[in-house]
Structure 1
């Protein structure tokens, strides 16, 4: 019963985001242009659930190259309004557009000739009338069966914030190295900064056999190193192919003459590989995209120098698929 209800909630929330997507118009481009022209910060404000969503939107903006701060409407009216500069742009969030604490604040902000962007579900509201641009997040219904608790509406608002952040990221040509500079500490920062050569296995830990070896030799190496794959190399160490546990299992079930299969028949030529001077983040991205757990590491000349296993990247929980 609970599982069916959960599916219904997710369907309703997906329906809400689809409605917001379908209603998206030129006002989104106007909002992006307004923020791009801002010489200082985007001040995000809202109260209650909208305030909590606003804090997340502000955090996402900061990490993706758009300077932002969150301003609580009540604290603003008791002195924190001094945080807002005349050159700032305000992003105000209220689904109803009639939140008294927020609208009182916006009247003071307008007196300072500060531009306001609204994220609102009611374009005929006080908030919308205060705003230079309104991003409409009207949804057909809340997932709450009572229609009272903000559920679909907060999801739609959060999605609109993400859309803004990504659009701004794209306009600013924000790169992975910029993201790393904004995340110098913590597990995410560590994951993005570690070079492949720092986490790869090298030397005799790398499962490999020469092209002249037999399939039996490859299976023995596969079992000895226990990493789920063995690489096939040329005379000077050039990476030629890979044989995985899965390859062996499939051949055992499909070939009656398994012992007569050659290494050249068994291997997958030109396997995916990564250069040792690239980042662990790049390796994670390749593994996720191709749904693999091992990756060859090569030198600039294409020689096999190491192996990356997903477990080595995940470590003790310091690495996650976030790309």
Structure 2
């Protein structure tokens, strides 16, 4: 069968299969060289300079970006421009991360030689462990593949996927070794929705005062339903005792459960909230990050969390929509 007559879906699946197999094979080959690479980057006083040409250059740019956003200072340096004035960005104490599938790219090799003269350490990601690049870098990581995904076997596909994935693996390993957390991530991402979301504290967005849906234990269930509906229809109302301490919640799910209980709705609606409420509600600290509140909600399968003060009194409530708006995302 001629290639042009192949089903597009079959072609797509073949490409994904070839690239997935390349990654799986690389998992089995990963060895102490990876640990050495992570250790070398952690030990340098300077930054990581990534480089590569063509498709490898694109991978190098992405790797530098991922490293920088996860706690490892990094820049991309074009190998040609480096030799025409931009080499000044490289300093003693830096490490050059060179990406080349063949390991024989002249521009990358020339940059490597110049960087080593400056005093930078070197690390390579290459598909050819016998290459000039592999022989001349301090640490070499194997990103070789069995074959490219294109029918000609020459278009960088599986090879760039392998290099990209190993770059991600380095970045995340370094991220964990540096104990780079959500607050650090928020600090490095001040712009855009993601940065604003992670930077928010619960106290910045929680509902308080007149916006807080709350009833007393002795109030009727009908009062709780009315309060729940009138306070932006959050689907939850907090229940407090005479001293204002949080003792439970009533949710729209509780209302549906109660409606199925034996007896008329009128009888149940007239009963005290204390009889029907869910006790030990989930809470979150006002100083917690909004992203932490989202995680609690996702794990617990709920859409709101109560906030209490130092004496256990109901101080506020935060709903999933207060953090996310009406869209949906996961952390």
Q: Distance in 2 between matches of 1:83 and 1:42?
A: 11
Question: After superposition, what is the alpha-carbon deviation per residue over 1:157-192, rounded to whole angstroms, capped at 9, x for unaligned?
Answer: 222222222222233333444334333444433333
* TM superposition shift of 1:201: 1.4
The whole-number CA distance in structure 2 between the counterparts of 1:141 and 1:234 is: 69
Corresponding position of 1:217 = 223
Whole-angstrom distance in 2 between the partners of 1:131 and 1:110: 9
Q: Deviations over 1:8-35 (max 9, x none)?
A: 6555544333322222110011111211
Q: Which residue of 2 aligns with 1:37?
A: 43
Equivalent of residue 307 in structure 2, options 283, 297, 303 = 297
Give the 5 Å matches for 1:1-323: 9-144=15-150, 147-225=153-231, 226-250=233-257, 252=259, 255-257=261-263, 259=265, 263=273, 266-315=276-325, 321=329, 323=331
Moved more, 285-294 or 60-69: 285-294
1:50 counterpart SS class: helix
Q: Deviations over 1:220-240 (max 9, x none)?
A: 322223112222222222222
Which consecutive aligned stretches of 4+ in structure 1 deviate over 6 angstroms post-superposition?
1-5
- How far off its partner does 1:118 sit? 0.9
Distance 1:141 1:292 in 2: 47
Unaligned runs of 5+ in 2: 1-6
Q: Give how far 1:106 is off.
A: 2.1
Unmatched runs of 5 consecutive residues or more in structure 1: none
Report what 2:4 is aligned to: none
CA distance in 1, matches of 2:143, 2:245: 55
Q: For residue 274 of structure 1, give the secondary structure of its aligned residue in structure 2.
A: coil
Q: How many residues align?
A: 320
TM-score by length of 1: 0.85
- Work out whether residues 275 and 300 of structure 1, in 8 Å CA contact, stay in contact via their aligned partners in 2: no
RMSD: 3.0
Decide which structure has the larger Cα Rg and report it: 2
Could you report, residue by residue, the CA deviation over 1:197-221 in whole angstroms, capped at 9, with x for unpaired residues? 2211112322222222343333332
CA contact under 8 A between 2:218 and 2:274: conserved in structure 1?
A: no
Report if the CA contact (8 A) 1:16-1:156 is conserved: yes
Would the aligned equivalents of 1:110 and 1:130 in 2 still touch at CA under 8 Å?
Answer: no
